[in-house]
Chains A and B, each alone.
Chain A
Amino acid sequence: DAGVTQSPTHLIKTRGQHVTLRCSPISGHKSVSWYQQVLGQGPQFIFQYYEKEERGRGNFPDRFSARQFPNYSSELNVNALLLGDSALYLCASSPGLGLGNTIYFGEGSWLTVV
């Protein structure tokens, strides 16, 4: 079975531009979450969605937004890009919200802002 898939794998944007990152969860998984990982640090939680509703939001500015579609895929949008937004963006999926539901990560989308 396919794991969590993300696209694009790498992209370069200019300051002030907007970016959309996409994620397809593991088949049957209804929860999708997004994490940001800057170089040298562990991943930081951005959003969690379950059944198309936002269930959690980390400490990120309003320039960051996301949504989940009826097929459970998800998009992360970042507006007005800053140099500091350069990072690996990770999507993860899990069957549900319970603490015993394992979260599986994709390989990430590398975003470079110049």
Chain B
Amino acid sequence: DAKTTQPTSMDCAEGRAANLPCNHSTISGNEYVYWYRQIHSQGPQYIIHGLKNNETNEMASLIITEDRKSSTLILPHATLRDTAVYYCIVRVADNQGGKLIFGQGTELSVKP
């Protein structure tokens, strides 16, 4: 089972920041938080990942709380093309090479 919980859906106005929350209260010290998004009928697109520190790249920022029990993905200036399902995944140290376990994700709708 996925170790994360996310809201089922969210709306965001075009040009505004989209803040997508994720809870992962059972995360262990060596487990990473990954974010992917999937636009209908396409393969999941990697966005960003982090362990303890906040991270930023050209697509987004990832804010991880100090206790690591939750995180927020921030898309600073959402566009219509950011409409997608966003998956927050805790990558678990297992005997299967650290597979990704996808939950239901958050369906983000960016509206004009």
Range, interface on chain B: 20 to 34
Chain A residues near B45 (CB-CB < 8 A): 105
Chain A residues near B99 (CB-CB < 8 A): 33, 45, 48, 56, 58
Return the contact of B96 from the options A45, A90, A98, A108 (Cβ within 8 A).
A45
Tell me if A104 counts as interface (CB < 8 A to partner B).
Answer: yes
Return the contact of B91 from the options A35, A92, A99, A107 (Cβ within 8 A).
A99
Q: Decide: A57 and B46 in contact? CB cutoff 8 A.
A: no
Q: Answer whether A90 and B43 are a contact pair too, CB < 8 Å, given A42-B103, A99-B91.
A: yes
Q: Decide: B97 and A50 in contact? CB cutoff 8 A.
A: yes
| Alpha-carbon distance A100/B46, docked complex (angstroms) | 13
Q: Decide: B49 and A42 in contact? CB cutoff 8 A.
A: no
Chain A residues near B101 (CB-CB < 8 A): 45
| Alpha-carbon distance A55/B99, docked complex (angstroms) | 10
| Alpha-carbon distance A48/B97, docked complex (angstroms) | 7
| B30, closest chain A residue (CB) | A99
Tell me if A24 counts as interface (CB < 8 A to partner B).
Answer: no
Q: Decide: B97 and A42 in contact? CB cutoff 8 A.
A: no
Which B20-43 residues sit within 8 Å CB-CB of chain A?
A: 30-32, 34, 36, 41-43
| B43, closest chain A residue (CB) | A105
15 extra interchain contacts, Cβ-Cβ under 8 A, other than A42-B104, A105-B43?
Answer: A42-B103, A43-B102, A45-B96, A48-B99, A50-B97, A56-B96, A56-B97, A88-B41, A90-B44, A97-B98, A99-B32, A99-B93, A100-B49, A103-B100, A108-B42
CB within 8 Å of B: which residues of A?
4, 31, 33, 35, 41-45, 48, 50, 55-58, 88, 90, 92, 97-100, 102-108
